Amino acid sequence: MELNEIFEYLYHEKSIILTGAGISQSSGIPTFRCNENGIFNQSIDKNSNSTITSKRKGNGIKLKGKDLFDVSILQTNPEIFAQFINQLHTKIQTCKPSLTHKFIQNLIDNGKCIRNYTQNIDSLELNHCNNNIDKIIQLHGNINNLKCNKCNTIITSNWNNPINYKEIFANGIFPECPECLNFQKLRLLQGKRSKSFITGILKPDILLYGEFNHELTLNFINCFQKDLLQTPKILLIMGTSLKVYGIKNLIKEFKSKINQGKIILINKERLNNSIWNKLIDEQIIMETDEFVKKFNNWKEDLINHNSQYLNTPPSTPSIQKINNININNINSNTKRKLMITPESTPKKKVKPLNNDESPLNKNGRNILKQLKI
Ligand SMILES: [Zn+2]
Q: Give me the phi and psi of 57, to 5 degrees please.
A: -145, 120
Q: Is residue 14 part of a domain?
A: yes
Q: Is 151 annotated as a binding-site member?
A: yes
Report the separation in Å between the CA atom of 139 and the middle of ligand 1, taken as the mean of its atom positions: 23
Q: Is 246 left (phi over 0), alpha (psi -120 to 50) or beta?
A: left
Q: Is residue 271 part of a domain?
A: yes
Residues 6+ apart with CB under 8 A from 45: 60, 61
pLDDT-derived band at 335 (thresholds 50, 70, 90) equals very low
Report the separation in Å between the CA atom of 199 and the middle of ligand 1, taken as the mean of its atom positions: 6
Whether residues 109 and 245 share a domain: the answer is yes
Residues 6+ apart with CB under 8 A from 357: 308
Whether residues 90 and 105 share a domain: the answer is no
Q: Is 148 annotated as a binding-site member?
A: yes
Report the separation in Å between the CA atom of 204 and the middle of ligand 1, taken as the mean of its atom positions: 13
User: Looking at 78-87, 126-135, 192-201, 320-329, which range is the least confident one?
Assistant: 320-329
Report the separation in Å between the CA atom of 201 and the middle of ligand 1, taken as the mean of its atom positions: 7
Whether residues 20 and 35 share a domain: the answer is no
Report the separation in Å between the CA atom of 198 and the middle of ligand 1, taken as the mean of its atom positions: 9
Q: What is the CATH number of the domain that holds 268?
A: 3.40.50.1220
d(CA 201, CA 216): 20
Q: Is residue 148 part of a domain?
A: no
Q: Is residue 266 part of a domain?
A: yes
Report the separation in Å between the CA atom of 163 and the middle of ligand 1, taken as the mean of its atom positions: 15
Whether residues 2 and 114 share a domain: the answer is yes
Whether residues 87 and 177 share a domain: the answer is no
For 190, the domain range is 154-206
* More confident of the two residues 80 and 43: 80
Whether residues 14 and 103 share a domain: the answer is yes
User: Are the C-beta atoms of 285 and 301 separated by less than 8 Å?
Assistant: no
Q: Is residue 145 part of a domain?
A: no
The confidence score (pLDDT) of residue 42 equals 62
Q: Give me the phi and psi of 275, to 5 degrees please.
A: -65, -45
Residue type, 306: N
Distance set, CA 317 to CA 195, 288, 338, 366 (Å):
84, 40, 12, 12
- Computed from CA positions of residues 51, 57, 62, 64, in that sequence, does the dihedral angle turn out positive or negative? negative
**Most confident option among 159-163, 253-257, 289-293:** 289-293
Bond from prior residue into 346 cis (ω within 30 degrees of 0): no
pLDDT tens digits for 259-281?
Answer: 889 999 999 999 988 888 889 99
Residues 6+ apart with CB under 8 A from 59: 46
Whether residues 88 and 109 share a domain: the answer is no
d(CA 322, CA 126): 41
Whether residues 285 and 369 share a domain: the answer is yes
Whether residues 282 and 294 share a domain: the answer is yes
Q: Which residues are catalytic?
A: 140
Distance set, CA 103 to CA 44, 176, 293, 318, 356 (Å):
41, 39, 9, 32, 35
Q: How many domains in the chain? A: 3
Q: Give me the phi and psi of 37, to 5 degrees please.
A: -110, 20
d(CA 2, CA 16): 20
d(CA 74, CA 79): 8
Give CB contacts under 8 A, 24+ apart, made by 332-337. 334/367, 336/8, 336/302, 337/305, 337/306, 337/363, 337/367
Q: Is residue 222 part of a domain?
A: yes
Whether residues 283 and 199 share a domain: the answer is no
Q: Is 129 annotated as a binding-site member?
A: no
Q: Is 180 annotated as a binding-site member?
A: yes
Q: Is residue 146 part of a domain?
A: no
Put simply, whether the predicted model's pTM sits higher than 0.95 gets the answer: no
pLDDT at 357 over 50: no
Whether residues 119 and 6 share a domain: the answer is yes
Whole-number average pLDDT of the chain: 78
User: Are the C-beta atoms of 82 and 73 separated by less than 8 Å?
Assistant: no
Whether residues 121 and 76 share a domain: the answer is no
DSSP letter (8 states) at residue 327: G
The confidence score (pLDDT) of residue 38 equals 57
Q: Is residue 147 part of a domain?
A: no
pLDDT tens digits for 8-60?
Answer: 999 999 999 999 999 998 998 876 655 555 566 665 544 444 433 344 444 45
**Terminal Cα distance for the chain, rounded:** 33
